[in-house]
A and B are shown apart, each in its own frame.
Chain A
Amino acid sequence: MTAVAPLFADPYRQRFATFMADRREPEALTRLRRAAFARFEALGWPTRQQEAWRLTDLSALQALTLQPPAEALIEAGILPTLEDVPAHRLAFVNGRFMPGLSHECVLPDQASIASLREALTLHPERVMAHLDRVPGLEQQPFAALNTAFLDDGVFVHLPRGTALETPIHLILHATGGDMALHPRLLLVLEEGARATVVVEYRGAGRYLNAPVTELTLGAGAALDFHQIQEESPQAFHLGGIRVQQDRDSQLNLHLLAFGGQLARVDLDALLDGEGANCLLNGLTLVRDRQYSDAHVRVEHARPHGTSQQSFKNVLDGQARTVFDGMIHVRPHAQKTDARQSNRNLLLSKQAQANANPRLEILADDVKCGHGSTTGFLDPDAWFYLRSRGIPAGQARALLVHAFANDSLTPIRLTPLRERLAHLLAARLALDPAEGERTP
């Protein structure tokens, strides 16, 4: 690893000392934090000389003097809902759980859905048995930083065979003020458990949100996980997702990204049991000078695993996206079926989509495929629609919608899918400045 960037590490060391002072928590957690902070210092602040950060320009973030989270009040009305679908709803403002904005539903026996802070108080052993146990993101300094500074978040533990019918709806709202937020979402589904989870990141003003999500799926468990990233246009989002799947488990993971001046998600999925299956479905819409980045690694460690990655980006203005996707098949993971697709649609000649699809296959009896395309809207299709009377802007929106909409189709939670469809339509109600755009 490259040398530490000392100018940056020092303020963090100060911050960490302040953070640790008078902290009352399980000793194991303190040890975890100290180890994580040491790892953060060893990794250092990412530089663009590192391959994984080559295109991620953090200088605007680095120039900020980040502040610890502060309490704030917000109107309940600005938070999104799942319409008439009842949900276990946990709302957070600036990383802190807000019971007044949350809603509890009846839980199955032994199941736990709580704020991380509360869970650490009520049953610390249960939390500590799972916290920071999912491998992955070892080289990601912000993931280490999250463990060092985690303060609140979510602990979901579904024991063996628990089928949670009611979706879990997590809303994390930030109010700006250059705050640095490190929420931790810890979800553990034991053997045969089932759940649907919606995470929504949103906010106003400028802040850094650096969440880490850990998903553990026991044998035969099934999880529909949706992450809707609608951070404020000034925000920085540096998120990490770590996934570990046991035998025959099924993960449907939907990543929808719309916000942030700079947003990056690093995702490591480890298929660590025979016949594990994961679907990774990503859709990003960016415009103006937004930067959006997805670094995805799917690790097939056992035979008969299947994975499908579909990542789509729609770029307008001077926006930039990165898709860096790796499929890694270990030597004994025979009969793996792994697919990866990245499609980028450019609505402006100034937009830039970067794709880096990668395969590393060390087994000899597998099916793996990947593909990446980048292009403008089809001018023939555009003309065809206009020749029937449909105005230029509407015709373009129709075509973009057609491109993006099939990323919403696999979302089974109807009110969410419909809300996202509306969001998509609203984002595509493009302004009439035709000149700069393509085709």
Chain B
Amino acid sequence: MLEIRNLHVTVEDREILQGIDLTIRPGETHAIMGPNGSGKSTLANVIAGREGYTVTAGEILFDGKDLLEMTPETRACEGLFLAFQYPVEIPGVANLYFLKAAVNAVRKYRNEPPVDAMDFWELVQERMKLVKMDESMLKRSVNEGFSGGEKKRNEVFQMAVLQPRFAVMDETDSGLDIDALKVVADGVNALRGPERGFLVITHYQRLLDYIVPDHVHVLFNGRIVRSGGKELAVELEEQGYALYNEEPGRARRAA
């Protein structure tokens, strides 16, 4: 469902991604691991369409369509979701209102009528339980004054309501204690299914104890230097990324 071919990306004339190839099929969960500065978040942002990144070569296909040609909102309407590493606080926009606007934007894209108020409320109630979110958070402004854990739960909650076909989780585990991590992982796992793909980006193996991936890739200096099964994550946890620093021919890059 997601095919990345020979992706080269620069930020302010510095090449961050130096030829990424990655194919994710429906139902698969892939993990990308790598140290700081390896290009993990750049990959997530380029997939979601954030400005400030220049694709100098390569392509990303989403169900065969050219993803890089689409605006961020079109990508979302096509079924893509990015769980932000740093969810943004938006004072003055109520969480529930925002979510309904998002749901209706996607429905409009699909030529469907706006969501029925009762149906929407039922969906929201049900999905809130999934991430153990308190109802009061719906009335508050988007992420405003939320704790780190609440923000990440809100990301997974939005994902659960929007039900994308493919989701990128950008360091969703960062800043979470173990209980919050379990809640978030449970939320993600509940959404896993044969039609849905996930790309889980993380620095640490810890998250992958709870969201067990089908494939693990190691990103280093803008390249995928190794791919394997879930056991690769355990190996990395034991040996760290130091190993890759010594690989011949690869320049060391300060993050």
Give chain A's interface residues, CB within 8 Å of chain B. 378-381, 383-392, 394-395, 398-399, 401-403, 405-406
Q: Among A379, A384, A390, which residue has its beta carbon within 8 angstroms of that of B105?
A: A390
Contact status A387-B109, CB under 8 Å: no
A383's partner among B51, B101, B102 (CB-CB below 8 A) is B51
9-residue interface stretch from B4-12, B24-32, B70-78, B123-131: B70-78
A389 touching B109, Cβ below 8 Å: yes
Q: How far is the CA of A398 from the CA of B88 in the complex (A)?
A: 14
Is B87 an interface residue when CB atoms closer than 8 A count as contact? Answer: yes
Contacts A389-B77, A389-B106, A389-B162: A384 and B90 contacting too (C-beta < 8 A)?
A: yes
A389-B76, A389-B109, A394-B105 known; A405 and B92 CB under 8 Å?
yes
Supposing A388-B98, A390-B105, A392-B73 touch, asked if A401 and B88 sit within 8 A by C-beta, the answer is no
Across chains A and B, the number of contacting residue pairs, with CB separation under 8 Å, is 76
Give A388 to B71 CA distance when docked, in angstroms.
Answer: 11
Q: A387-B73, A395-B73 are in contact. List 11 more A-B contacts (CB 8 A).
A: A381-B90, A385-B101, A385-B102, A387-B82, A388-B105, A389-B76, A390-B101, A390-B105, A394-B101, A394-B105, A398-B93
The minimal Cβ–Cβ distance linking B174 to chain A, given in whole angstroms, is 17
Contact B98 A385 (CB under 8 A): yes
Which B70-116 residues sit within 8 Å CB-CB of chain A?
A: 71-73, 75-77, 81-82, 84, 87-93, 98-99, 101-102, 105-106, 109
- Complex contact A399–B88 (CB within 8 A): no
- CB-based closest 9 A-B pairs: A402-B92, A389-B76, A388-B102, A384-B88, A389-B105, A386-B72, A389-B106, A386-B73, A402-B93
Tell whether, in the assembled complex, residue B91 and residue A402 are in contact, meaning their CB atoms are under 8 Å apart: yes
In this complex, how many residues of chain B approach chain A with their Cβ under 8 Å: the count is: 31
B48 interfacial by beta-carbon distance below 8 Å: yes
CB under 8 Å from chain A, chain B span 139-159: 141-142, 158
Rounded to whole angstroms, the CA-CA distance of A389 and B79 in the bound complex is 9
- Decide if A402 touches B76 in the complex (CB within 8 Å): no
Known interface pairs A394-B105, A398-B101; A386-B71 also in contact (CB < 8 Å): yes
CB-defined contacts of B73 to chain A, threshold 8 Å = 386-392, 395
Interface status of B65 (Cβ within 8 A of chain A)? no
Q: How far is the CB of B50 from chain A (nearest CB, A)?
A: 6
Question: Is B39 in contact with chain A by the CB < 8 A criterion?
Answer: no
Q: How far is the CB of B114 from chain A (nearest CB, A)?
A: 13
Alpha-carbon gap, A388 to B107, bound state (A): 12
Say yes or no: is B49 at the interface (Cβ < 8 Å to chain A). Answer: yes
Distance in angstroms between the alpha carbons of A186 and B104 in the assembled complex: 50
> Can you show 23 pairs from A to B with CB atoms below 8 A apart?
A379-B51, A380-B88, A381-B88, A383-B88, A384-B90, A385-B98, A385-B101, A386-B49, A386-B73, A387-B48, A387-B73, A387-B76, A388-B105, A388-B158, A388-B162, A389-B76, A389-B77, A390-B73, A390-B101, A391-B105, A398-B98, A399-B93, A402-B93
A398 to B102, CA, bound (A): 12
Produce 1/0 per residue, B32-76, CB < 8 A to A. Answer: 000000000000000011110000000000000000000111011
The docked-state distance in angstroms from the alpha carbon of A429 to that of B147 is 33
Tell me which of A388, A399, A401 contacts B76 (CB under 8 A): A388
Complex: A380 Cα to B75 Cα, angstroms: 17
